[in-house]
Structure 1
Amino acid sequence: MLPKILFTTVMDGLDRHAAEMAPEGFELVIAPQFTPAYTAALPEAEYLVGNVHGMDDGFYRTASRLKLVQLLSAGYDHVDLEAARRAAVPVCNNGGANSRAVAEHTILLILAVYRRLILQHDLTSKGLWLGNKPMPTFHEMHGRTLGIIGLGTIGKRVARIAGRGFDMKVQYNDLVRLGEDEEDSRNVRYRLLPELLATSDIVSCHVPLTSLTRNMINARTLAQMQPHAILINCGRGPVVDLAALHEALTTGRIAGAGLDVFPQEPPPADEPVLSLDNVVLSPHLAGASRETRIRQTRNGFDNVLRVARGERPLWLLPELRDMVA
């Protein structure tokens, strides 16, 4: 009997990519969670590729043959790390497969806020041609200071695009500090968080959701930003306290924001931030490109092959790296 790969995510053509890219010598079952096919395949699956919820002790008892859980996402705040440890099943995220798309989307949101793109679209589509009439204040990115919170794979790409493409000054804050030589090669500089907030024209969040980062952008930290500064969040929704952000945006504490993620998704229709004209919103789709989906699938099957060969998988979750020699 061939070893079984259970592929659980079918949105955005991922199921088609999986069928096209599946490695030889394995049985591939494509079945979303909670379907009869998923329930039937789980006890025999040796590799699970995709995003599922409820991976608690009971899940691992049912999936007793699992050798790898391979997420298709970068975020893993939904993963029960201790249950995975008790089951001795390594869990991996997806190696920055979406980093280019998220980095580009970050730049998109910065430009959309700086150039008041939504306002321009709305006025033009309604026949209100500004022409030479008084216009809102627009800004350029050139020469501005970008502060990146979380210089991981995505943060590094944002820094590269901003520095090389827009001649921006880039500074960062991260638990892992780069060496001086790497800072020089990337043209970035480390700053303590209060320094970064106080001196950045744009603050962009790219941290995972942990106990340290939940609500790290709050009334206190927003008060440290400059009044002309803007906030971008393409990381995890709960990193930003939306109530505090709403107050900062409506009182002039900061000038604007671009948000792709929210503490509750989808956000409630009456969420006050949604109605502000100095905010640009997108529905947690920063990483959703065709190219991302192909890379996610390729990376997932690559890790399956590595584990099948007895090798250490790539992109193990940091909290579980000591589980695998």
Structure 2
Amino acid sequence: MTRIIHGIDVGGTKIELVSHDEDLTPLHRRRIDTPTQGIQEFIEAVVGLVEEADDCVGAATAVGVGIPGFVDPRTGCHVSANIPALRGHRVARMLQASLKQPVNVANDCHCFALSEANGGAAARFDSMFGLVIGTGAAGGYCVNGRLLKGRNGALGETGHTPISAAVLQGHGLPIFECACGQRGCLERYVSGSGLRAIYTHLSDSQLDGQGIMALACAGDSAARQALAVHLDILASSLASLVLHLDPGAIVLGGGLSKLSHLYEELPEQVTRHLVRGLISPPILPPAFGDAGGTRGAAVLALSLLRAEDARAC
């Protein structure tokens, strides 16, 4: 009998559920807007998605949920810069109580990395880092297909590491405030909003990443400079990542992962920032694109089933 797994990807603007079988074949998909009123509305929205999916494809054996942020190990409460309604609540415990099914909750970018490490772009590598650069910037680190979370469960929160003042001054950029409460965080420069902020600082105009790319291709000097600055800051941060974790591959996700010049130019730029004799790992586009979050959440749920199967043997 086929067991059903629901993978849920929670974002700042949308919640998506995809039901899978044990081979991770998609069976059902549903997307709704992320509730903004409070934690109870959020829980009810997730429960509604699961109940609808259960009616469509059968009751799930397990549910995986990817959520931005991490859990404070001292309080068990969620910490999230992107979804204020979740802050200060024990979200995983509330979902478990409301769904009455086995639930595994992890950081959404961790889920992206899990997906790409298991049958995705980095499947052939012993280790990988999956970096999502979209609304924010964060990632996950997998070794032999298994996610490493770290003591605080925050391994991969690279978007909230500070950029050195020297790098910002070298590009003539101000130190931007970050929603996490710090200043000069990497996320404020390499995310989609970061690229827009760089372009606005250079041109006094506002465009999204694709628009900036189009202008750059047409020869616009401010757009070309914005892309060059963004590329250099991203390359510098990835070089630091290589020195700390030395992954076999880096897979990019999120909206900016669609910018083709990143794959053409980043490896050389990362190597330029490294100690002489070291080279950049392969930098790859995602195999599953926008589906990576829900698929990774399904991998997360599948780990619950396999653990139960192992205990039963």
Bigger RCO of structures 1 and 2 (CA < 8 A, at least 6 apart): 2
From the two aligned structures, give the one with the greater helix fraction. 2
Give the structure with the larger strand fraction: 2
What TM-score does the superposition give when structure 1 sets the normalisation length? Answer: 0.33
Please say which structure displays the higher CA radius of gyration: 1
